[in-house]
Structure 1
């Protein structure tokens, strides 16, 4: 199995392809501002100290945190979609040096097809005007294919025709290259949780944790992976805490039934997602399970975020081998068989701790908010 993972890692690193380069950044206009077009009710200037709380991870990681970092350099605005549609030049906001069309959740895209078709038309008319960027944390075309919603692919292709695409990882950039007529830039997700002390000793009962979005598209995979992992440890009592949105009751009930069948002495706890609840659950757990779909087209370009979060929290993550996780394989346990990963972690607590400590240093160098802010600034021509 280790040989298989090493082969995958070598394949990921060895097959990296050059992405289509963005146009050279223009000199940023003196006194100019950056506008992030977002699903907000009204436009507002970004204040570095204001709290912007949303359960949409992509908005926090791809707009709120970068905007705060950029606001240390230039004025930054969160601009409503309606304001952008009314005046794509955003003249009322002064001298605009760059416009970033932020990601909308797929359900929101499908609900606003008419407005977003108008956005694509406005963006296409901006040729030669203010530089346009579209933040793309997901392969919408692949997701649209999986859920039979072709507008997602049309929306992605339309953005790629008029905007430089910004993605959180190389793997996603390679997938979107077909649509990127104005180039692609990689800017990773920043971390958002504080660094905690490393702990890799198992408790009794063993305390495991999973956190993330749960829905129809990943429920069957998650149910299977968690059942296999806990079922392999029937000889010891354990607790599994799931931190996710409160609306996934049907999926959670199915997971609970499967886990009870796989491990009668597994206590399942469900915690409604919040940043604070996630941090507290990470502190309670011994190890973090991050199973992931590895074969579906929509999943292979997912970001490093959840693995980085676990490392920052001082916990060993046992995760599936998607490309971004393989990049960080020295700092976690990465493989197809999560049960094997758990057995390894239980048998090698010292080595597990060394991996996480090294990971915390590596994460600080690559994913710290100020590092990500510098990447955004360089991309937009500010630095």
Structure 2
């Protein structure tokens, strides 16, 4: 689901409709290979356009003529500051969308300058949005006085991903992965996918949960595939791992077929100020791809406890290894749950509400 951007001339020439909003969007990383761009920029833009609103990318190089409001997606660059300056000069309100707690990340890294930059940017917003209540609560503590609203992540559009064409390199990577899995044909094939943020999130938490996988391997063979963009971090850690592992470089087209080659997605997540506000996106993506999930307990994951094992690594892995058929009904119910509570229509409603608040429409 990639947004179509109309030109400035196109939306100026269209007849005025007071129910239709004209929204500018700025993100530092617009490439849809980034999950934040797909799920919190391109996806919402496409849904809003389908409802008759106008959405354009806006980078502050010109005055925001004709825009009712501007959305900045978790960016605090010089360009984002220029967007804020242009918006303030023109009297156009700004919504800041935050899918990560960048204040907490800066504090954990001891980066006072980055912390001040994030807080200063958020203080200039008419509204800030976040995917979870926990993240929004933390942001409100860090930036008091700025109104906020929860807008969940869109669910990963697996139909769109499945339609992408694989490159020769992606086909080669997939063949290597399948060769690795076939060499361990009797094993429970697990996968971890995601980015790494140093000591805050990512492979560091895979390493912390490796003893759980190694303990399970004493009774049943198991493999782990890493789908990520952190090759060097993997190479440093891999010699420590006591089970067979394989690495696949993340790519947009190659992600879904690589994910579907496995039975279980593992989601180890340490509890810290950066991770506690994480959304349901990762287990939801695995469920939508047809995988089982074993996860550590985050606040946003708890609502899936009736469908997937939470903080129960040994029994959870055993369920998927020995009772895969029996688990299908439970996983199907989990999939129905996330489609009901995080479907496109519901998320689009929340975006409309937030944007109308930002535009001053209540």
- Aligning the two structures, in what range does the TM-score lie when normalised by the shorter sequence? 0.7 to 0.9
Match for residue 65 of structure 1? 43
- If asked which structure has higher relative contact order (CA below 8 Å, sep 6+), I would say 1
- Give the one of 265, 268, 281 matched to 1:291: 268
Gaps of 5+ in 1: 1-27, 41-51, 197-201
Match for residue 55 of structure 1? 33
- The whole-number CA distance in structure 1 between the counterparts of 2:289 and 2:273 is 29
1:11-90 matched pairs, under 5 angstroms: 29=18, 32-39=21-28, 53-72=31-50, 73-80=52-59, 82-83=60-61, 86-87=62-63, 90=64
- Give the one of 301, 307, 313 matched to 1:325: 301
2:153 aligned with 1:189, yes or no?
yes
Going from structure 1 to structure 2, the CA distance change for 1:78 and 1:122 (only over 3 Å counts) comes to closer
TM-score by length of 1: 0.74
2:143 aligned with 1:143, yes or no?
no
Aligned length in residues: 314
1:1-383 matched pairs, under 5 angstroms: 29=18, 32-39=21-28, 53-72=31-50, 73-80=52-59, 82-83=60-61, 86-87=62-63, 90-91=64-65, 95-104=66-75, 109=76, 112=77, 114-117=78-81, 125=88, 129-163=91-125, 164-178=127-141, 179-194=143-158, 204-217=186-199, 218=201, 219-245=203-229, 248-259=230-241, 262-263=242-243, 266=244, 268-294=245-271, 296-335=272-311, 337-381=312-356
- The whole-number CA distance in structure 1 between the counterparts of 2:94 and 2:226 is 39
CA RMSD of aligned residues (A): 2.7
- The whole-number CA distance in structure 2 between the counterparts of 1:151 and 1:55 is 28
TM-score by length of 2: 0.78
Going from structure 1 to structure 2, the CA distance change for 1:308 and 1:100 (only over 3 Å counts) comes to same
Q: 1:203-250, CA deviations, whole angstroms, 9 ceiling, x for partnerless residues?
A: 7222111100024233332212134323432333332111111xx232
Gaps of 5+ in 2: 1-16, 162-183
Going from structure 1 to structure 2, the CA distance change for 1:303 and 1:134 (only over 3 Å counts) comes to same
Going from structure 1 to structure 2, the CA distance change for 1:126 and 1:350 (only over 3 Å counts) comes to farther
- The whole-number CA distance in structure 2 between the counterparts of 1:208 and 1:220 is 17
SS in 2 for 1:143: helix
